[in-house]
Structure 1
Amino acid sequence: MSYDDNNIFAKILRGEIPCKKIYEDDHVLSFHDINPQKKIHALVIPKGKYIDFDDFSQKASPEEMVGLLKGISLVAKKLGISVDTGKGYRALANISEHGGQEVPHLHFHLFGGEKVGKMVE
């Protein structure tokens, strides 16, 4: 599968669709989910064209990999849900059809601000 430049996250990265930005640097963009599933529900996406975590792990540079992981941590702190500032959070990446991925651009959901519940139902 090749990367689809018309997916919604690609359009957000190009500024064609607005988002409620939380954080941005050279490697990631984070914004609030438009359909939150928990009290706090944010997305963290790499700026590179990666379909999912498998694609990212095979093709991303070491700087992009570190940038994504640090970005997730920075956003959690900024939202007050990290272990340092809150009571914890869940970081979730859905991968492909059976994993429940809806947008073909790697993204992590950060859930927090309340008990998240079971991992899988």
Structure 2
Amino acid sequence: MPTETIFSKIINREIPADIVYEDDLSLAFRDVNPQAPVHILVIPKQPIPMVADAVAADQSLLGHLLLVAAQIAKAEGLAKGFRLVINNGEDGGQSVPHLHVHILGGRSMQWPPG
């Protein structure tokens, strides 16, 4: 059984979140520690600890997360652009072991990012 995380508790409605989107496969909510004017996390309801743990059977779900992120970015008015970030592992900056896509926007992004 997967380890329970703050994200699984949000999915199960055990803790509150500012949810902006939900479907059968995914959930999206505003980050509680935003790094940009718009900072939303898109997570799969099926827990995958990190992108490196994804397998071929997850291909459709991974694509779905990106399409949902683009849909949310459009709904949030990010026509001038946005950044999608997926951190992987401790050195990659991942703080919750549940795959999540960050949507960052509402300001000009810098490069390199980190």
User: Are 1:102 and 2:101 an aligned pair?
Assistant: no
1:3-22 superposed Cα distances (whole Å, 9 cap, x missing partner): 312x1001000100111011
After superposition, the CA RMSD in angstroms is 1.6
Q: Aligned partners of 2:34, 2:51: CA distance in 1, in Å?
A: 22
1:24 to 22, 25, 40: 22
CA-CA distance at 1:60 after TM superposition: 4.2
- For 2:74, what is the secondary structure of its paired residue? helix
The equivalences for 1:57-68 within 5 A come to: 58=55, 60-68=57-65
**TM-score with structure 1 length normalisation?**
0.86
- For 2:91, what is the secondary structure of its paired residue? helix
**TM-score with structure 2 length normalisation?**
0.90
Partner of 2:45: 47
Q: Aligned partners of 2:66, 2:34: CA distance in 1, in Å?
A: 22
1:29-70 superposed Cα distances (whole Å, 9 cap, x missing partner): 0110011111111111011010011223x1644442332121
Contact 2:42–2:100 under 8 Å retained in 1: yes
Partner of 2:68: 71
CA-CA distance at 1:98 after TM superposition: 1.0
2:77 to 67, 77, 80: 80
- For 1:97, what is the secondary structure of its paired residue? coil
Contact 1:38–1:116 under 8 Å retained in 2: no
- Structure 1 alignment gaps of length 5 or more: none
Partner of 2:3: 4
Opposite residue 2 of structure 2, the aligned amino acid is: Y
Opposite residue 9 of structure 1, the aligned amino acid is: F
Q: Aligned partners of 1:62, 1:97: CA distance in 2, in Å?
A: 23
Change (3 A) 1:60 1:21: farther
Identity level (%): 40
